[in-house]
Amino acid sequence: MFDRRTVLKATGIAACGGVGTASMAQQSVAQSSGDVLFDQDFSDVGVGSVPDNFVLAGNESQAVTDTTAAVGETSYQMDGSYGGCWEAITRASMDVADVMTVRGHFRLGDGEIGCHEKKIGTIGLRTTATGSWGSGSGVRLLNFAPNGTIKSQGQEVGTYGENEWIEFELEYIRDRENGTVTYNCQIDNETVQTLTRDERDHESELSALILNSGDFTVYWDDIQVRAGVESDEPAVFDLSVDSVTPESVDPGATATIDVTVTNTGETADDHPIDINLDGERLDRREVDLAPGDETTVEFTVTAPGTAGTYSYEIEADQTSTTASLDVGESASESTFDLSIDAVTPETVDPGSSALVDVTVTNTGSTSIMQSVDISLAGEQFDSQETTLDPGDTTDLTFSVDVPDTEGSYQIEVSSGDGSTTAELMVGEPAESLFEIDALYPESIRAAPREEVPVTTTVTNTGDAEQSETVSVLLDGSVVREVELSLEASETTETDIWVTVPDTAGDYEYEVTAGDSSQTWTAIVERADSDLSIETIDVPDQIRERESFEISLEIRNDDVDERNELMTITAIEANSETVVFDDTVELAASSRTTITETVDAPSVDDPVAVVFGVSVGGQTAQTDERYIEPQEQPDTGGSGSGSSDGGSSDGGSDDSVEVTVPGFTLPGTVASLGGAAYLLRKRLGDDES
């Protein structure tokens, strides 16, 4: 649909905007529900003009147009530079409420991907409404991506096509108490998608609406922002299975599933009703119901080719139900033969765990899928679904949580109408003789989610070899366990690695072994910046007009994915050239390697260049690299002639070697021929 962008144009390309500063208004938190915070349908703005409250940045080819409109006769047109790096930006000041509804229309026009390969148009909120290209901080509400998807917080919430208007609605709900922001996104009245993120540091400073074009012509129309969200209760579609006809079929045969759909909500709505098997959608029906109305939906399904009992899921938005279909041999007439091979250990301590090994064999004549269930003292606690061909056998292992009371307990394994049993003996636990002597260090400072070691000294104070679990607990929950076996009176030191929480604060951990315990403290501190540029790799020698790779490793310690503007600049003695300028995605709590291929500019002489990188407020640069001219052809031939009658065998005493940074030119002055031009260019014509 779109062409791959070219990163670097000729030498002298301009950066995509300046950097300015402006005061940031505090976010409004007391707007009344229904208050209009922003409203613009462009009907009162002349064609070719810009609304008075719009502040332009970047490409200022923006104006009201009458060539297309979603509502009325005019819309707002923003032109990016096709295949270039000069996006159009519009900002407008407005109050930002904790709860808002943002509505509008968007249309994609002509263009070609340039620097902005991950966006065609965006709408969001900003902390400032100035004309400086990169000023302030912001949050993106919707991103119309080049692949035809509409994204919010990196997740797809809808789709769009070229040269057609789409309608969007987004509810912005900020929960200050829990530090979260929820988006309810709806595209063209399709299903509402709900996303939640953590508050940003600048959330309270948001004070403007921002529109963006990327490298295409885009159109916006009828944009409105109101405080609050819709108060009507949404439609709720309840589902109930009326019948499965027939209830049992042969493999590959068909069956009919009838489902009653009832709108128990307070508003009319339409929803898709899906039928799924093993997470895969098989069919869909569209249903439109007024409050209180109901209808019957009929699905025809083809049974799988393997015998068994299958559960079909029918779902509508946030409600679902299931229907069962028996295929081939009925699940009630099991052909699975079951045997319990081992219970390990045979006698266990109260409150501990045991393993049960089971062998399952299909003694029937057809393939069958069936659930194998396990119960303890008559109460089922686990099951595993198994598919076996005739004569095949498989081994299953179940983990049993042992009761706290001594005694003999019956374990039962069943499948269909077949079952088998075994006994589990629960005895008194052996007294733990492990002592935790010391922890080092008693406190440790760490970054969020950093893995840190705690050296634990443990002694077996008993007179026989013993095994014990050393556990690390935080707020009563086990976060790490280590199994130790020690001889009588043996002492050992072991490092237990723990990943600290992702929120700054002091956390007290407890290390236990049996009845012995000690505590240590993790002091979690957040760095001044969650981003750092770890490495920049650029070739030592670069030839003009040739492609080369710039590779960076960026560390994001934030617990959230970050989308940050990254700029790479080639810095010469008297000029700077932007070679990359786009938003990059940085995965949460990890290092991201980014490699970009760029073209070296044309140069007449070797040029010393430093490459600088800026991303998320962090900067770094390389040491000097040289961009070298291409070697010129030797127009004097292969050395068989001489312009002054000198020797052609290179034996003259006038032989010299000339060295220029990045170049070595050996030869005879009298025989340089066509290379004399290069020599003059390197040394200067007055020194030739």
CA distance 100 to 92: 16
C-alpha dihedral, 219 to 203 to 200 to 507, nearest 10°: -160
The terminus-to-terminus CA distance of the chain in angstroms comes to 56
Which of 524, 550, 569 marks a domain boundary? 524
> Bigger pLDDT: 234 or 561?
561
- d(C-alpha 123, C-alpha 184), whole Å: 15
Q: Which residue stretches of 326-482 are H helix?
A: none
The stretch 115-139 carries a mean pLDDT of 88
With respect to residue 344, please indicate whether it lies within any of the assigned structural domains: yes
- Of 120, 86, 83, 121, nearest to 6 by C-alpha is 83
Q: Can you say how many angstroms the Cα of residue 82 is from the centroid of all Cα atoms in its chain? A: 28
Cα–Cα distance, 374 to 552 (Å, whole number): 53
- 182 and 297 in a single domain? The answer is no
Judge if 280 and 368 occupy the same domain.
no
Q: Kindly report, residue by residue over 21-35, the tens digit of the pLDDT.
A: 233 333 433 455 568
- 458 contacts 492 by C-beta, under 8 angstroms: yes
Contact 127, 208 (CB under 8 A): yes
Query: Quick one: CA dihedral 81, 83, 86, 90, positive or negative?
Result: positive
- 424: nearest Cα among 437, 441, 412, 435: 412
Q: Distance (Å, rounded) from C-alpha 681 to C-alpha 42?
A: 60
**How far is residue 488's CA from residue 494's CA, in Å, rounded to a whole number?**
17
- How far apart are the C-alpha atoms of 638 and 625, rounded to whole Å? 32
- Within-domain flag for 261: yes
DSSP 681: H
Instruction: State whether residue 489 is helix, strand or coil.
Output: coil
Which helix (H) or strand (E) covers residue 654, if one does?
none
Give the Cβ contact number of residue 17 at 10 Å: 20
391 shares a domain with 285: no
Residue 266: per-residue pLDDT? 76
Residue 27 included in any domain = no
- Alpha-carbon separation of residue 442 from 107, 502, 513 (angstroms): 61, 20, 17
Looking at the structure, do residues 541 and 573 belong to the same domain, yes or no?
yes
Do 275 and 158 belong together in one domain? no
Place of tokens 């990327």: 214
Per the prediction, the chain carries an average pLDDT of 82
Q: Find, among 440, 463, 462, the residue nearest to 453 by Cα.
A: 440
Say what the pLDDT of residue 527 is.
Answer: 58
* Residue 505 located in a structural domain: yes
Those residues with Cβ within 8 angstroms of residue 605's Cβ, 6 or more apart along the chain or in another chain: 629, 681, 682
Phi, psi of 108 (to 5 degrees): -95, 130
Which of residues 426, 456, 476 is at a domain's end? 426
Please tell me the predicted confidence (pLDDT) of residue 526: 63
Q: How confident is the model at residue 329 (pLDDT cuts 50, 70, 90)?
A: low
Nearest to 36 by CA among 110, 95, 87, 91: 95
ω before 345 within 30° of 0 (cis)?
A: yes
- Domain of residue 306, residue span: 237-327
* pLDDT of 476 higher than 80: yes
Mean pLDDT score, 219-241:
85
Contact 611, 570 (CB under 8 A): yes
Tell whether 159 and 66 lie within a shared domain.
yes
Tell me how far apart the alpha carbons of residues 103 and 224 are, in angstroms, rounded to a whole number: 5
| DSSP string of 147-166, one letter each residue | TSEEEETTEEEEE--BT--E
Q: Which region among 9-13, 225-229, 365-369, 604-608 has the lowest average model confidence (pLDDT)?
A: 9-13
Q: β-strand 547-556 against 166-175: which pairing, if any?
A: unpaired
d(CA 569, CA 587): 24
> Is 90 contained in some domain?
yes
Which of 243-257, 294-308, 602-616, 625-639 shows the lowest per-residue confidence on average (mean pLDDT)? 625-639
Which pLDDT value is given to residue 632? 67
Q: Measured between alpha carbons, how far is 151 from 144 in angstroms, rounded to an integer? A: 6
Instruction: Mean pLDDT check: name the lowest of 431-440, 497-506, 647-656.
Output: 647-656
User: Using an 8 Å Cβ cutoff, are 415 and 360 in contact?
Assistant: yes
Report if residue 2 sits inside a domain.
no
Q: How many CB atoms lie within 10 A of CB 272?
A: 15
Say whether both 191 and 307 belong to one domain.
no
Stretch 128-154: mean pLDDT, rounded? Answer: 90
398-442 pLDDT, tens digit per residue, is 999 999 888 889 999 998 778 999 988 888 655 668 899 888 888
* DSSP per-residue letters across 204-247: GG--EEEEE-TTEEEEEEEEEEEES---SPPP-EEEEEEEEESS
CATH code of 362's domain: 2.60.40.10
Asked whether residue 105 falls in the same domain as residue 157, the answer is yes
Give how many domains the chain has, as a whole number: 5
Same domain for 207 and 108, yes or no, is yes
The two structure tokens encoding residue 146: 């080049």
State which amino acid sits at residue 540.
D
3-state SS assignment for residue 137: coil
Res 154 pLDDT > 70: yes
Strands 138-144 and 121-126: antiparallel
Query: How far apart (Å, rounded) are the C-alpha atoms in residues 178 and 312?
Result: 38
Q: What is the pLDDT of residues 181-222, one digit of tens each?
A: 999 999 998 889 999 999 999 999 999 999 999 888 999 999
| Centroid of chain to Cα 30 | 33
Reduced to 3 states (helix: H, G, I; strand: E, B; else coil), residue 391 is coil
Distance between CA atoms of residues 5 and 216, nearest Å: 12
| End residue of a domain, out of 471, 490, 524 | 524
- Residue 71: inside a domain, yes or no? yes
CATH number at residue 148: 2.60.120.560
Whether the per-residue pLDDT at 97 is higher than 90: the answer is yes
Strand 307-316 versus strand 36-40 pairing type: unpaired
CA dihedral 72, 73, 75, 79 (to 10 degrees): 160
- Computed over its alpha carbons, how large is the radius of gyration of the chain? 36
Asked if residue 341 belongs to a domain, the reply is: yes
Please indicate, yes or no, whether residues 73 and 190 belong to a single structural domain of this protein. yes
3-state DSSP call for residue 413? strand
Task: Please tell me whether residues 148 and 209 are part of one structural domain.
Answer: yes
Answer whether 129's CB lies under 8 Å from 251's CB: no
Range picked from 32-46, 472-486, 565-579 for highest mean pLDDT:
472-486
| pLDDT band at 143; cut points 50, 70, 90 | very high
Check whether residue 401 and residue 346 sit in a common domain: yes
Tell me the one-letter amino acid at 11. T
